Structure 1
Amino acid sequence: MLLPTQYAIRIAAPAAAGPLSRVRKQFNTLVKKLEAERVRLSLWREELPKIRALADSEYSPLARTFDAHRRRLLLLLDQAYSDKTMGKKDREKLADVICSTALDLMGVDEEDEAIKEIYNKHSGCDFDLDMEAEKAFMRKMVGAATGVELDEDTDFSSPQAFFEAMRDKMEERKREEERSEQSHAAKPAKLSAREARHQAEELKLKQSVRDIFRKLASALHPDRETDSAERGRKTALMQRANVAYASNDLLSLLELQLEVDQIDQTGLDNLGEDRIKQYNRILDGQVGEIKSEIIALETALSLDMGWEFGQHRTPKAMMQGLRADIAAMRANVKYIEADLDTFSDIKKLKAWLKDYRIVANDPGYGEPWF
């Protein structure tokens, strides 16, 4: 795990200049935030493979076993429905169990024609037609809300599939907009005063980072060293500088400057207020980028695992949740194995149906995830 660097970047007030100014306080606050987000991101990158490995090795096999048992149970119940000892009330309840089980299984594999046939027979509906109507409604709602027109064959089988389709469409629209802008850029449009100021400020920010990198590159160029050990050291430092510059990582570049004695604490303290303001904008952008990367990792994992996303859980909480899911799935496998044994006996199945109650008017009952 990445630990805070020993070359901690902080800015004090220049000698005899009085208390820290607002921009200097802001710089120090942003550096602390960035250091904290670095540690969070490093922890995610370290723990995410472990979480996925545990899911692949323990949860997924259990889930596949559970689904296979549910399919066997569905076939068993469908067969029991035709038993001559089943009364009208028994069949009504059994049809409700069959339809809910079939819908759950089609959420796993929508193309299982045997399950679809059983569902259609007991529900009095056509699953494919119902899903097409639901998808058409969903495409209409998404288009009205976002302006993104999804294709008719968009996969709505899971949140992950839906969001991937949305992402692809939005990226496609962005590319089209960029092509359109380029095609109309033969005569450059006159920038507004605000746009011109923003563009000039962005150039200053890039120049600030570029200046630091050039100073480092000049001092660390390994080809100028005759000593092999020193050449190796500078090669490693130069690689770090290249990575930092490529990602616009101001903090890492400043840390390298301290490490190689290009700048000392007095030099940092004596930076001008305008330069610090520029640094603050860069640091604030870095904090936002790392937070976005963490959210992306967290959301992707939540979608893959079927968990609710948007809660910003830690990797430790994610691992605890996965272990709880594994324990629950083990229990589910045991329960359904017991059900298979019980429901293979028509008398026992009918006794169970006596206590079964059909849930009526349940919002969302039997509906797809969307």
Structure 2
Amino acid sequence: MSEFQMPLAGFGPDPTPLPKGHKAFDRLVKKIQETRESLDAWAAVLAPYQKKFTNELVPLRATCRTLRIGFVRRLDEALDEKGLTQAERRGVQMLVVELTASLLGEGDDPALRALYKRRARGDYEDHAAEARKAAAAAFEEAYGIDPEAPIEEILREAAERLGGDQGPPARNAPSAAEHRRIRESIRTLYRKLASALHPDREPDPDKRDHKTTLMQRANHAYENDRLLPLLELRREIDPGQGAWAGEDEQAVKLYTKALRHELAALEDEVMIAEADFRMRFAIDPLVSLTPRNALKTLATEIKEARAMAGSLETELADIADLASLKRWLRVLRDEGLS
């Protein structure tokens, strides 16, 4: 939870109807709370995701890779054995080239690179460059997004195409004059809070400790030009006063613009947090991912990797000798896979 978790009750509707500008402010307060919670959620899910990813998925992926390499090497050996027809030999050679390229795309291996060059009669780098170019063109044609763009931009485009968040209400920063007025409002509000909260003026030890904590929050907000936490503190100190006591309509408009800018900055932080998470674990930008579904998605991936390992073990046994390999190739042919 964020250090400045908002008390929604403090910013709920007053008994009397709020003017339109005040309602807009209250909506912003709620949106900022939701955005802060989302940012906190990305931070909170990182450790459990990392642990499960490292302890379960990484070993399974390593097992699958070892089995796939064994599968390719067995097919490669078969090409040097007598007994395959020309059609079977062509099919096996094609499989060796395709599977080796896939393995090299996931990580370099000198032995696999040499195998590829021998069976494909060409360097893997040439193949990889062509494949990357084709994949980039297909991606851009399918989604209208430049795959070389920063991941934050790709995520934003993907969210819009999937009907997701359309971004903050307004991303334009306050003008220089407005910023000065906002800064002055923050300074004035901070001074009033400091006067009311100063712990040295409180004789009761418990209240002094509480005021010290509140004063630390006020200092943190002031040092970071954060308006909303100061308004929250004011409401906490005197819950009985109206949310807009002492504020004219012009001040409310100014505060609202400041909070729109604050919301935009928070939403950018959330976008960056998601982008960093995806990059850390190599998650496709177009895969739906939230802090809420991240662990469930990982569990599904682990289940699929475990099933793949079992399937690879079975298939490796199916091509252990030439007769078994020929039967396996017939099954592929009958299923239209070769």
TM-score (norm 1): 0.71
Q: CA deviation at 1:57?
A: 1.6
Structure 1 residue runs without a partner (length 5+)? 140-158, 167-196, 361-370
- The root-mean-square deviation of aligned C-alpha atoms, in Å, is 3.4
Partner of 2:195: 218
With over 3 angstroms needed to count, the CA separation of the structure-2 counterparts of 1:162 and 1:92, relative to structure 1, is farther
Counterpart residue type for residue 56 of structure 1: T
Partner of 2:247: 271
- 1:209–1:248 CA contact under 8 A, matched in 2: yes
Q: Does 2:280 correspond to 1:282?
A: no
Partner of 1:305: 281
- 1:67–1:105 CA contact under 8 A, matched in 2: yes
Q: Does 2:310 correspond to 1:334?
A: yes
Q: CA deviation at 1:264?
A: 4.9
With over 3 angstroms needed to count, the CA separation of the structure-2 counterparts of 1:7 and 1:210, relative to structure 1, is farther
Q: CA deviation at 1:116?
A: 1.1
Q: CA deviation at 1:198?
A: 2.1
Partner of 2:76: 78
Partner of 1:366: none
Partner of 1:148: none
Counterpart residue type for residue 102 of structure 2: D
Deviations 1:316-364 (A, max 9, x none): 322221111111000001111112222222211111112335879xxxx
Counterpart residue type for residue 218 of structure 2: A
Partner of 1:23: 21
Q: CA deviation at 1:309?
A: 2.1
- 1:4–1:39 CA contact under 8 A, matched in 2: no
With over 3 angstroms needed to count, the CA separation of the structure-2 counterparts of 1:118 and 1:54, relative to structure 1, is same
Which of residues 303, 311, 323 is equivalent to 1:347? 323
With over 3 angstroms needed to count, the CA separation of the structure-2 counterparts of 1:86 and 1:210, relative to structure 1, is farther
Partner of 1:5: 7
Counterpart residue type for residue 71 of structure 2: L
Partner of 2:97: 99
Partner Cα distance (1:241, 1:231) in 2: 15
Partner Cα distance (1:209, 1:36) in 2: 23
Partner Cα distance (1:335, 1:9) in 2: 57
Q: Does 2:294 correspond to 1:296?
A: no
Is the partner of 1:298 in helix, strand or coil? helix
Deviations 1:234-263 (A, max 9, x none): 2221222233334443222111112223x8
Is the partner of 1:235 in helix, strand or coil? helix
Q: CA deviation at 1:268?
A: 1.4
TM-score (norm 2): 0.77
With over 3 angstroms needed to count, the CA separation of the structure-2 counterparts of 1:133 and 1:96, relative to structure 1, is closer
Partner of 2:226: 249
- 1:74–1:98 CA contact under 8 A, matched in 2: yes
Partner Cα distance (2:267, 2:245) in 1: 28
Counterpart residue type for residue 296 of structure 1: I
Counterpart residue type for residue 337 of structure 1: E
